């Protein structure tokens, strides 16, 4: 197991902009930002819509449906906190609502059998003392 | 400006592990060798343009380099485009001379991550460390997996790029890794960050390199021995991070190359030899597609069968590239382009009259292109 200090270092730094994203996950909801001005949706958190540049946006709940854009499988740890988790999978995931995010794919015996664009479903797991959004193949 | 400016001199340090050498010291050695190669006096250099050391960003770095060179230049700057910086600086040097801002420019780079710190290459790719997304190879592997899924690119095709670079590097007495590789040896290696094996990944290297840029007319006045013309240059920047990119397998290298080809009045079929930035195998494969040497998605087929090796249709990375000569981010590719056009390369491509050079950085975020030719 990862010790408490190491886990703390992996948690996101406190930031007024992104704190709501992580707090919602602790309540069981994956959220994204949606622009009230132009309707664009995005992650990760930012102050202005990257399409129309307005600051008039709100957090919305994601359905949890997603697709797999790409994924990699670590067979060597680049950080000591992950040395006892090898092999593990990191992915770029596109939510049904449009935003893309980094995540992990779990619940698959052999990640080499995954396919690009395959359907995924959100699962929120407790890890490193926080709620981590991960995805399982549908 | 086509052909109006030249690379008048090139210089480098040894590549590999150079313990105890500061990056400023390595820059000075590379510049000393470049101005000696050009056959000019140091004091006519009035522009010092530097890519900052990747392993340690520090303020006012180019001013420290200029001071160590004993120069008070008219132009003195660092450019932050990661691995694209040096090729872009050569373009900016030409533009600055064109507009009377300086006369003779040096562009240089040095770093010491092999004997110093390589932490810059192992950091988290974004603020999401809890996912374990650490290290530069992982982010490029993400692009490679998408390319494999989208276009059917195979491990052996990625390996063909490593094989070509290692074959060329093995012949280069100054290369850091002089060990040829076969596709079977490549495929027999274990995965590091799948779909990447170790030999998909660039070297970590100490060393420096420098070039001297001036007008072709000035080179004639100064009786420069072997100037090489800059026919075209361009840039393109894929600004968002990997997760944010609408298409993981196409980059703004397309615009960079199109701009350079337009300026040069040339197209891919006119290129005799190529130096294609190969920090990872996928980088070179996608760049060949984005440059128009083959269709998007056909890069895997294109690199097979020795096409990119000496004797093939488009000999590439003829000194070994980042996979074999040195992991230096880009300037070594310009130096080898100059040697090929001069006819002085170890792995000389017969009758090479044109060379395209790609420099790129981040996770294929930044891109810069140079087209070099005989004057």
Please write the tens of the pLDDT for every residue from B188-205: 999 999 999 999 999 999
Q: Is residue B246 scored above 90 in pLDDT?
A: no
Q: Which CATH number applies to B5-118+204-227: 3.30.420.40, 3.40.47.10, 1.10.1040.10, 3.40.50.10540?
A: 3.40.47.10
Q: Is residue A1 scored above 80 in pLDDT?
A: no
Tell me the pLDDT of chain A averaged across its residues.
95
Share of chain B above pLDDT 90, in %: 93
Mutation target vs A (from B132, B142, B152; most A CBs, 10 A cutoff): B132
Cβ(B125)–Cβ(B228) below 8 Å: no
User: Of A92, A111, A116, which is closest to B242 when you measure between CB atoms?
Assistant: A92
Contacts of A130 in chain B (CB under 8 A): 130
Cβ(B368)–Cβ(B358) below 8 Å: yes
- Residue A115 is inside which H or E element, if any? none
Superfamily of domain B135-202+230-373: Thiolase/Chalcone synthase (3.40.47.10)
Average pLDDT over residues A7-30: 93
User: Residue B87: which pLDDT band, with cuts at 50, 70 and 90?
Assistant: very high
- Number of A to B CB contacts under 8 A, please give it: 96
The per-residue pLDDT for range B48-76, each reduced to its tens digit, is 999 999 998 889 999 999 999 999 999 99
Cβ burial, residue A72 (10 Å; 0-12/13-18/19+): buried
User: CA–CA distance from B249 to each of A24, B195, B196, B296 (Å)?
Assistant: 33, 15, 16, 9
CB of A100 within 8 Å of a chain B CB? The answer is yes
Q: Mark out chain B residues that contact chain A at CB-CB < 8 A.
A: 122, 124-135, 138, 141-143, 145-146, 149-150, 190-196, 242-244, 248
Q: What is the pLDDT of residue B117?
A: 84
Closest CA to B245 of B184, B191, B299, B286: B286
Q: What is the pLDDT of residue B241?
A: 83
Contacts of A100 in chain B (CB under 8 A): 243-244
Q: What is the pLDDT of residue A2?
A: 47
Q: Which residue of A has its CA nearest to B190?
A: A75
Q: Is residue B36 scored above 80 in pLDDT?
A: yes
Q: What is the pLDDT of residue B128?
A: 77
Average pLDDT over residues B345-371: 97
Q: What is the pLDDT of residue B125?
A: 58
Q: Which residue of B has its CA nearest to A18?
A: B127
User: Residue A3: which pLDDT band, with cuts at 50, 70 and 90?
Assistant: low
Domain tally for chain A?
Answer: 1
CA distance B114 to B134: 19
User: Of A13, A72, A85, which is closest to B193 when you measure between CB atoms?
Assistant: A72
Q: What is the pLDDT of residue B204?
A: 95
CA distance B189 to chain A (A): 12
Q: What is the pLDDT of residue B51?
A: 97
CA distance A4 to chain B (A): 13
Tell me the pLDDT of chain B averaged across its residues.
96
Q: What is the pLDDT of residue A8?
A: 85
Domain boundaries, position A47: 4-137
CA distance A78 to chain B (A): 6
In chain B, which residues fall in CATH 3.40.47.10?
Answer: 5-118+204-227, 135-202+230-373
Here the tokens at position B99 are 């507009």
């Amino acid at each position: 197991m990862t010790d408490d200090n190491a886990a703390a270092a992996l948690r996101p730094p406190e930031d007024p902009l992104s704190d709501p994203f992580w707090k919602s996950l602790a309540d069981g909801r994956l959220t994204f930002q949606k622009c009230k001005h132009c309707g664009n949706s995005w992650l990760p958190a930012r102050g202005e819509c990257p399409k129309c540049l307005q600051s008039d946006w709100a957090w919305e709940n994601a359905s949890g449906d997603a697709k797999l854009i790409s994924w990699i499988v670590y067979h060597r740890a680049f950080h000591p906190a992950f040395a006892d988790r090898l092999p593990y999978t990191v992915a770029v995931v596109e939510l049904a609502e449009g935003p893309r995010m980094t995540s992990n794919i779990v619940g698959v015996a052999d990640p080499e059998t995954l396919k690009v664009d395959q359907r995924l479903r959100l699962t929120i797991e407790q890890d490193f003392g926080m709620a981590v959004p991960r995805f399982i193949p549908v | 400006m086509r052909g109006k400016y030249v690379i008048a001199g090139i210089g480098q340090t040894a590549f590999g592990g150079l313990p105890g050498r500061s990056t400023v010291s390595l820059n000075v050695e590379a510049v000393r060798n470049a101005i000696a190669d050009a056959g000019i006096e140091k004091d006519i250099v009035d522009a010092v343009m530097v890519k900052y050391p990747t392993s340690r960003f520090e303020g006012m770095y180019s001013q420290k380099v200029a001071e160590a060179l004993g120069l008070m230049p008219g132009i003195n700057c660092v450019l932050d485009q990661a691995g694209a910086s040096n090729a872009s600086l050569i373009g900016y040097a030409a533009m600055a001379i064109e507009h009377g801002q300086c006369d003779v420019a040096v562009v240089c780079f040095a770093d010491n991550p092999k004997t110093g710190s390589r932490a810059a290459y192992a950091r988290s790719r974004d603020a999401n460390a809890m996912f374990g997304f650490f290290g530069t190879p992982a982010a490029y592997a993400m692009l490679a997996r998408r390319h494999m899924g989208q276009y059917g690119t195979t491990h052996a095709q990625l390996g063909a790029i490593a094989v070509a670079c290692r074959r060329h590097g093995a012949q280069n007495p100054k290369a850091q890794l002089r060990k040829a590789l076969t596709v079977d040896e490549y495929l027999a290696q274990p995965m590091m960050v799948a779909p990447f094996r170790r030999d998909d990944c660039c070297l970590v290297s100490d060393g420096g390199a420098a070039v001297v840029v001036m007008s072709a007319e000035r080179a004639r006045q100064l009786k420069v021995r072997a100037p090489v013309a800059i026919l075209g240059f361009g840039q393109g920047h894929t600004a968002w991070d990997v997760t944010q990119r609408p298409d993981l397998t196409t980059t703004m290298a397309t615009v960079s190359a199109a701009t350079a080809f337009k300026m040069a009045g040339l197209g891919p079929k006119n290129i005799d030899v190529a130096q294609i930035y190969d920090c990872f195998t996928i980088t070179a494969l996608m760049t060949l597609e984005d440059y128009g040497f083959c269709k998007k998605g056909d890069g895997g087929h294109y690199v097979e069968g020795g096409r990119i090796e000496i004797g093939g249709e488009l000999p590439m990375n003829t000194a070994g590239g980042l996979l074999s000569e040195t992991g230096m981010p880009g300037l070594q590719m310009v130096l080898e382009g100059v040697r090929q056009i001069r006819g002085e390369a170890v792995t000389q491509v017969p009758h090479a009259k044109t060379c395209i050079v790609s420099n790129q950085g981040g996770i294929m975020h930044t891109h810069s292109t140079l087209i070099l030719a005989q004057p």
